[in-house]
Chain A
Amino acid sequence: MNRPTTTAGLHEQLWQAVVAADEYAAVDLVVQAMDDGVSGEDLLLDVIARVQERIGSEWAADRLTVAQEHAATAINERVVTALSHHRAMRQGKPSRGRVTVCCVDGEWHAFPARLVAEILQLRGWQVDYLGAQTPTPHLIAHLHSTNPAAVLLSGSIPTHLPNAHRAVTACQATGVPVVAGGRAFGADGRYARVLGADGWAPDARAAAALLEEGLTRSVTSAGRQALDDLPHLADQEYTMVVQARPRLVRQTVLDLETRFSAMAGYDDEQRERTAEDIAHIIDFLATALYVDDAEVFLTFLTWTAHLLEARKVPAASLLVGLDILAEQLHDFPRALRILTAGRSALHAMAAGPPALAEPAAAGADA
């Protein structure tokens, strides 16, 4: 359906309805568009998915709170549900094979996976949609009982990449290929490759195209372990940083209080918020150690710096925080390299014009 002007107009109208939490206006809008003959796939991907992206970027730019983001997402979910009940979307018997769509263990952003599930159903696949935060044991049990042609694994937050890796290797050990998708895997899908996924799809259409091309079943390698894909994990830095996380957070908060004078005036809630920020920084550091790529850490760090500035918290506290972490991790060469890169990135940011970044690949829910 070539109605670009229509879908563009619809996007703006739907955005207005969704942020106003006006479920009925939102649902009516897409149902009407469907009645007018706009295809379900175009509505899902060119209107609804764009609105969802905008919800994400508005949240990332601190213009929506987490709660608002959830409310808007819930409305958008209802829109998808209403659409999937529209008669024009009803499918007959699936004409293609069976596939499983799920989120990485710990991943709460289910919307992209939901869209993929809807699109694949439209394209004739029999889809089992397991939803947000699928525990890997459930996923594997599901694979044993359904033997799907592929698993489509969705991840939005990079800190879940180690979980994603566990899911990828576990699926492949049962002989089922995995297509990874979502922001967590990098804008170019680099982390999907690092983790040994059989494919990567930047969006739902690409995922459908990959499946239609046909994936070869993975050569079963029951003996494969995390170390075979990521030999650098042998240095144990990732493991130790994850295990030491509570101690690292506590020590960093303590040291910040003595070295960063503004913290003296913090109340308990601000102090807890600071601790959460530090915990996130450590989580992203651990992720960078896991995939052996500082980029995932730097993207998060610069985004956090922008966010703190927007909240009138001096980003200099971040530099002090990195220093304190570096002192505690002095025995960890890879972690130190990543922290040093982080320092340079923050310095470069302070020197340059304060561009308000579009932190596409960053993000952790506060």
Chain B
Amino acid sequence: MGCARSVPQMVKASRGASARSRDTGSQAGTSWADVPFPVLVADRHGRLARLNDAARTLLPLAEAGGWLHEVAPPWLVDAHRSFAEGPPASAAAPLTGPVGDRMVTARPTASPDGEVVWWLLDDTDRHRAETELRGEKQRCELLTDVSSTLLSTLNLPRCMEVTAALAAQHLAEAAVLVSPSQGRHHQLTYACRYGDVRQVARRIDPYSVPGLPEALQGFPPVPARWLDPGEIPDWVLPPGFTAAVGSVIVTPLPGHGVPAGVLILLRSGTERAFSGGEENFARLFAARAGAALSAARLYTEQTAITATLMRELLPPALSSVHGVTYAGNYRPASDHERVGGDFYDVHPGPDPSRETLVALGDVAGKGLDAAVLTGKIRNTLHALLPLADDHQRVLRLLNGALLTSHHGRFVTLVLASVRRDGNRVDLRLTSAGHLPPLLVRADGTVEEAGTRGTLVGALPEVTAQSYETTLAPGEICLLYTDGITEARGGPLGDELYGEERLRRALTACGGMPAEAVVEHVQMLASQWLGPGGHDDMAVVAIGMDRNGPAPAVTPQDTTRRNR
């Protein structure tokens, strides 16, 4: 028998084996015939010379003397042909391909008489594991992407857009996000894989889609299920989704106590169920989307509540009243807040012949707690307006009100009663423990108003001395809080801005419009600031409106409200 020569060298001939058929190399004993992997030997022309038992199990039709191309898959036949024509100079990468329902890796070796021995390795399990691993990795990456995208926005419509678009891209061909009802309408977000996302508010009948009402009402999530496309009402189909619907699935989005909505997924073509991995992925997607949507919904609600509560605490927009220009600017201590412990208000007199009351103050403390107290003080001052002729009385009443309240904070403030009289503005200024106002004369001289008083809300009695003066055209009265003068920074990093620098800066402001002075002072203080943070900073400037006594109502500049 010449077969022993033709098997690869690593297989040693042995005497042990005897009762084997000729074509398995019976003389070989512990020969390649016993190798637990399929081995085929074929000649150059593709005729099978020998094969072992394992090969016969893999290829039941194969037998010695038969043709390789009649029993083996084409990829192996091709590989045999090219190897027989001339083995590659270097070891080629192993070939892998399907044989029946198995995945097989094939390695050829040449024998000296021109035959080719194919060593086959059943790789099905490894291959399956690799495919699953790859899929899992992709899903994991995708989920990370999806999570980042969903978490990036707290805007509810945007979050719905993103959810629908991602679902259409990764879970189905089209998706509809049905959000919980607002009145009789539902917000519907449509997305197609290659199209725009569209949002509409529509009246829909949730009962027209099986499972939708329960999902919307937040019953325990039913397993995602495919529906008969015939049961689907027209409103479910996204505009632009022209393909015939093959399958539909309704997936509730868990919102953790907040309704998050329902996702309807559509695929064209034949009904197709999720594979295990896909189903798991869809569930994870729904969990992420639900969490993001409920966070966005909560944020939106909280923002609306905060905005409503904050509206009364925000500094007012100032303009000209009764022939006098008022300008103000407020910068809260922390950049993420809009309110703080400084405040100002301008209460116009009932007519141009009566005084307008300006109040600017500083509540001890910063942040929301201080801001809430500024709201109370502003309301109290508003109620005391009829008594504004007598600043001392107003301060006494405010002091009483603060002493009897529970918060135990005090306030310093300046009151200014202002009246335009021909070509001048009459001013009565009273400081209650606050920095006295500065008067910027037309020639750039800066004077300090001679008013002194005790702070309000700390002692049983308050005393204060008023100061009367007038403003000529181009002159400014500046009320400010200590956030300006106590701004810490400068080129050396730790110096206070100080009253001296403020006065020096104001000498350049003679004749400037009130808004420009306010902006100038705020800018100088802000530029002075180092990185160490700052206190609330409020500035109000009072100047003559050069237009002469203005009409009672002036248009407010709404576009500048945020300045």
A320 CB-CB contact with B under 8 Å: no
B508 CB-CB contact with A under 8 Å: yes
Q: Is the CB of B560 within 8 A of A67?
A: no
Q: Is the CB of A144 within 8 A of B299?
A: yes
B336 CB-CB contact with A under 8 Å: yes
Number of interface residues of A (CB under 8 A): 57
Contacts of A85 in B (CB 8 A): 555
Contacts of B560 in A (CB 8 A): 77, 81, 129, 131
Q: Is the CB of B530 within 8 A of A246?
A: yes
Interface readout for A61-88 with B: 1 if CB under 8 Å, 0 if not?
0000111101101110110010011000
Contacts of A319 in B (CB 8 A): none
The SS class assigned to the A binding surface is helix
CB distance from A286 to the nearest CB of B (A): 12
Q: A85-B555, A279-B491 are in contact. Are A174 and B508 (CB under 8 A)?
A: no
Interface pick from B224-232, B259-267, B408-416, B520-528: B520-528
Contacts of B563 in A (CB 8 A): 110, 131-132
Contacts of B153 in A (CB 8 A): 144, 147, 174-175
Q: Is the CB of A138 within 8 A of B511?
A: no
Task: Choose from A23, A106, A222 the contact partner of B513 (Cβ within 8 Å).
Answer: A23
Interface pick from A8-16, A36-44, A183-191, A270-278: A270-278
Task: Choose from A75, A105, A110, A222 the contact partner of B149 (Cβ within 8 Å).
Answer: A222
8 Å CB contacts to A: which residues of B190-215?
none
8 Å CB contacts to B: which residues of A102-154?
105-106, 108, 110, 114, 117-118, 129-133, 135-138, 141, 143-147
Interface readout for B516-546 with A: 1 if CB under 8 Å, 0 if not?
1101100100110010000000000000001
Task: Choose from A74, A143, A272 the contact partner of B491 (Cβ within 8 Å).
Answer: A272
8 Å CB contacts to A: which residues of B130-166?
148-149, 151-155, 157-158, 162
Q: Is the CB of A23 within 8 A of B546?
A: yes
Contacts of B559 in A (CB 8 A): 81, 84, 114, 117-118, 129
Q: Give the distance in Å from the alpha carbon of A147 to the alpha carbon of B199 in the complex.
A: 14
A173 CB-CB contact with B under 8 Å: yes
Contacts of B508 in A (CB 8 A): 65-68
Contacts of A132 in B (CB 8 A): 563
Task: Choose from A114, A146, A279 the contact partner of B155 (Cβ within 8 Å).
Answer: A146
Q: A129-B559, A145-B303, A275-B492 are in contact. Are A365 and B523 (CB under 8 A)?
A: yes
Q: Give the distance in Å from the alpha carbon of A222 to the alpha carbon of B491 in the complex.
A: 36
A145 nearest in chain B by CB position: B303
Contacts of B511 in A (CB 8 A): 21, 71
A218 nearest in chain B by CB position: B152
Contacts of A114 in B (CB 8 A): 559
Q: Give the distance in Å from the alpha carbon of A144 to the alpha carbon of B296 in the complex.
A: 9
Interface readout for A208-229 with B: 1 if CB under 8 Å, 0 if not?
0000000000001111000000
Q: Is the CB of A24 within 8 A of B547?
A: yes
Interface readout for A228-243 with B: 1 if CB under 8 Å, 0 if not?
0000000000000000
Q: Is the CB of B562 within 8 A of A220?
A: no
Q: Give the distance in Å from the alpha carbon of A21 to the alpha carbon of B473 in the complex.
A: 13
B509 CB-CB contact with A under 8 Å: yes
Q: Is the CB of A70 within 8 A of B519?
A: yes
Q: Is the CB of A74 within 8 A of B513?
A: yes
Interface readout for B153-181 with A: 1 if CB under 8 Å, 0 if not?
11101100010000000000000000000
Q: Is the CB of A137 within 8 A of B335?
A: yes
8 Å CB contacts to A: which residues of B477-512?
490-494, 504-505, 508-509, 511-512
Q: Is the CB of B512 within 8 A of A21?
A: yes
Q: Give the distance in Å from the alpha carbon of A272 to the alpha carbon of B504 in the complex.
A: 13
Task: Choose from B300, B493, B512, B562 the contact partner of A67 (Cβ within 8 Å).
Answer: B512
Q: Give the distance in Å from the alpha carbon of A277 to the alpha carbon of B336 in the complex.
A: 31
Q: A74-B515, A137-B335 are in contact. Are A174 and B152 (CB under 8 A)?
A: yes
B85 CB-CB contact with A under 8 Å: no
B366 CB-CB contact with A under 8 Å: no
B283 CB-CB contact with A under 8 Å: no
A178 CB-CB contact with B under 8 Å: no
Q: A70-B512, A70-B516 are in contact. Are A135 and B494 (CB under 8 A)?
A: no
Q: Give the distance in Å from the alpha carbon of A138 to the alpha carbon of B303 in the complex.
A: 12
Q: Is the CB of B148 within 8 A of A75?
A: no
Q: Give the distance in Å from the alpha carbon of A272 to the alpha carbon of B492 in the complex.
A: 9
Interface readout for A146-164 with B: 1 if CB under 8 Å, 0 if not?
1100000000000000000
Q: A67-B508, A74-B516, A249-B492 are in contact. Are A365 and B527 (CB under 8 A)?
A: yes
A-B contact pairs, 9 of them (CB 8 A): A74-B516, A108-B519, A117-B559, A131-B562, A138-B335, A145-B303, A246-B530, A249-B491, A250-B492
